[in-house]
Amino acid sequence: MRIVAGRFKGRPLAAPKADKTRPTSDKARQALFNVLEHAGWAPPLEGARVIDLFAGSGGLGFEAMSRGAAFCLFVDTDGSARGAIRDNIETFQLFGNTRLHRRSATDLGEKPAKLGAPFNLVFLDPPYGQELAPPALAGLIDGHWVTDDALAILEVAADEAVPDVPGWSPVDERIWGAAKVVFLTRG
């Protein structure tokens, strides 16, 4: 896995040693970011505040940082995933622009004030088939983690139904290989 574009283009990403994670492929990441960069409903990547839930290697968050995002909070409970994210933070020297949160993405609670302003871009790549996206998306709103105009990008299995979550509306959906990527706006 490598960063596809931006200031870290071509640099490799450390991945968790365990087989519990399923990193988004370079090709799918490129396609996803092409949508983000050209869709009128997507917030600009430049200066974005990103939260990467079920982060795994943090590939989506690091790709956003490479393309100009100002800050990324990585959330994962798995020790090997957090180790890979720490390695990537060190490799890219993003100490002041990133944080690593050891918390369940489905039980975030209230956003701590020390994390700054709410996030306007959310990546969710939960384990397939476990219906973890609805409580994670609801918790983002309930805990005041996201702005009123936030965009969430959810990856599920290609054959999974798009969850109906109050407060989030799908605006686009793409299938790349085994993954379905759904873009949801607040509202």
Residue of 52, 120, 122, 139 whose CA lies nearest to 89: 52
3-state secondary structure of 46: coil
12 belongs to a structural domain: no
24 has a pLDDT exceeding 90: no
What is the reported pLDDT for 26? Answer: 72
11 belongs to a structural domain: no
42 belongs to a structural domain: yes
Helix, strand, coil shares of the chain, percent, nearest 5, are 25, 25, 45
pLDDT above 90: percentage of residues in the chain: 84
What is the reported pLDDT for 23? Answer: 67
17 has a pLDDT exceeding 90: no
Instruction: Spell out where the chain has E strands.
Output: 49-53, 71-75, 98-101, 119-124, 146-157, 168-176, 179-186
44 belongs to a structural domain: yes
What is the reported pLDDT for 18? Answer: 60
What is the reported pLDDT for 21? Answer: 59
Question: What span, in angstroms and rounded, lies between the C-alpha atoms of 54 and 45?
Answer: 20
DSSP symbol at 2: B
Each residue's pLDDT tens digit, 90-143:
999 999 999 999 999 999 999 999 999 999 999 999 999 899 999 999 999 999
161 belongs to a structural domain: yes
Q: What is the average pLDDT across 74-102?
A: 95
How many structural domains does the chain have? 1
The parent domain of residue 51 ranges over 26-186
Each residue's pLDDT tens digit, 160-186:
998 889 999 999 999 988 889 999 999
100 belongs to a structural domain: yes
Rounded to two decimals, the pTM is 0.94
111 belongs to a structural domain: yes
4 belongs to a structural domain: no
Q: What is the CATH number of the domain that holds 44?
A: 3.40.50.150
Exposed / middle / buried, residue 160 (Cβ in 10 Å: 0-12, 13-18, 19+): middle
Residue of 73, 67, 185 whose CA lies nearest to 137: 185
Q: In degrees rounded to 5, what are phi and psi of residue 61? A: -65, -40
What is the reported pLDDT for 20? Answer: 59
Q: What is the mean pLDDT of the chain?
A: 93
70 has a pLDDT exceeding 70: yes
Exposed / middle / buried, residue 120 (Cβ in 10 Å: 0-12, 13-18, 19+): buried
What is the reported pLDDT for 187? Answer: 73
β-pair type (146-157, 168-176): unpaired
